Amino acid sequence: MRLFVAGLRKLVRRPASYVSVGLLAGLLSLILIAVGATAKQTAERPNGAAALLLVTFPQAYTLILSFILGLGGLIAVIYGAAVAGSEWNWGTLKAAVARGESRSRYALLTFASVALLIGVGLVLAFLVGTLMAVVGASLAGISTSGLSNSDALGRLPDQFGRSWIAVVEEGALGFTVATLARSQLAGIGAGIALYFGEQFASIFLPDIVKYLPFNAATAVVENAGTGGGGIIQRLEPGLALWVVLAWLFGSLFVAALFTERADISG
């Protein structure tokens, strides 16, 4: 427990934590305000009505979550890789192991604190997104009566929980890649390459790619990630959740096993 709490303390003080949440919330705000401020022009464009759903409640709830799943997933990959890679680069893993700490326990509890902080980041980003959607709706002159829609609010905890698991899985992939690379920069680079590589591959191999980690993560929330003009195939949300859990635990197992067996030098 003390190791988990210490991990949380470290992450709370880490500039990358603030930058990650700030980037996600900032971009979300920018888009929502822009949609609201340009509503008149937006409505006249093809698919303009669909764009206005971003600031139309209750649909906005799902769309904000969808945005968080997309960009938030990429940020989670980078954040997970940064945390794991820095443990090798800065030699802090070495210092802990030389004190007799269990290697796999250290790696897993470090990731547990990352996962918790991702949850906090998602809540903050969602709250900021909702607030900015309200502002955008006001700018666009769209009613916000759907804000208190009981059906949508009732579904939120389930959707939020699924989103959290999905983003945590993406963070775990970054964490594992950086662990295998034993490097912060290499981990971040490889994580980003995997993320975009998978999106690109989905154009050519949709039946296979839908089971891959980032695509499965996008499919865990119903109606989320329906972009791509219908080209991209998605898993059914229930199955997607199982696939995401398999990737999550699989990648953490690999990270723990590698940490346990690796020679720690440098």
Q: CB-wise, 42 or 259, nearer to another protein? A: 259
Phi, psi angles (nearest 5°) of residue 14: -85, 125
Measured from the CB atom, the residue of 5 and 127 that comes closer to another protein is 5
Report the alpha-carbon distance of residue 198 to residue 26 in Å, rounded. 26
Neighbours of 34 (CB within 10 A): 15
- Identity of the residue, 11 or 133, whose beta carbon is nearer to another protein in the bound complex: 11
Task: Dig out the tokens for 26 from the structure.
Answer: 């900032």
Q: How far is the CB of 70 from another protein (least distance, A)?
A: 28
Work out how close the CB of 183 gets to another protein at its nearest, in angstroms, rounded to a whole number: 15
How far apart (Å, rounded) are the C-alpha atoms in residues 87 and 159?
A: 33
By beta-carbon proximity to another protein, the closer residue of 4 and 211 is 4
CB of 41 to another protein, least distance (A): 44
Rounded CA-CA distance 127/28 in Å is 11
Nearest approach, Cβ of residue 23 and another protein (Å): 18
Gap between the Cα atoms of 182 and 184, Å rounded: 7
201-210 CB contacts, 8 Å cutoff, 24+ apart: 202/228, 202/232, 202/233, 203/231, 203/232, 206/231, 206/232, 206/233, 207/233, 210/234, 210/235
Residue nearer to another protein on the CB measure, 87 or 169: 87
- Which of 9/40 has CB closer to another protein? 9
CB 220 within 8 A of CB 122: no
Q: What is the C-alpha separation between 151 and 261, in angstroms, rounded?
A: 50
Residue 38 per-residue DSSP state = T
What's the closest the beta carbon of residue 189 comes to another protein, in angstroms? Answer: 21
SS3 144: coil
Residue (37 or 97) nearer to another protein, CB: 97
Instruction: Give residues in contact with another protein (CB under 8 A).
Output: 2-3, 5-6, 9-10, 13-15, 86, 90-92, 94-102, 106, 263-266
Neighbours of 143 (CB within 10 A): 11
Least gap, CB of 261 to another protein (angstroms): 8
Minimum Å gap between C-beta 26 and another protein is 21
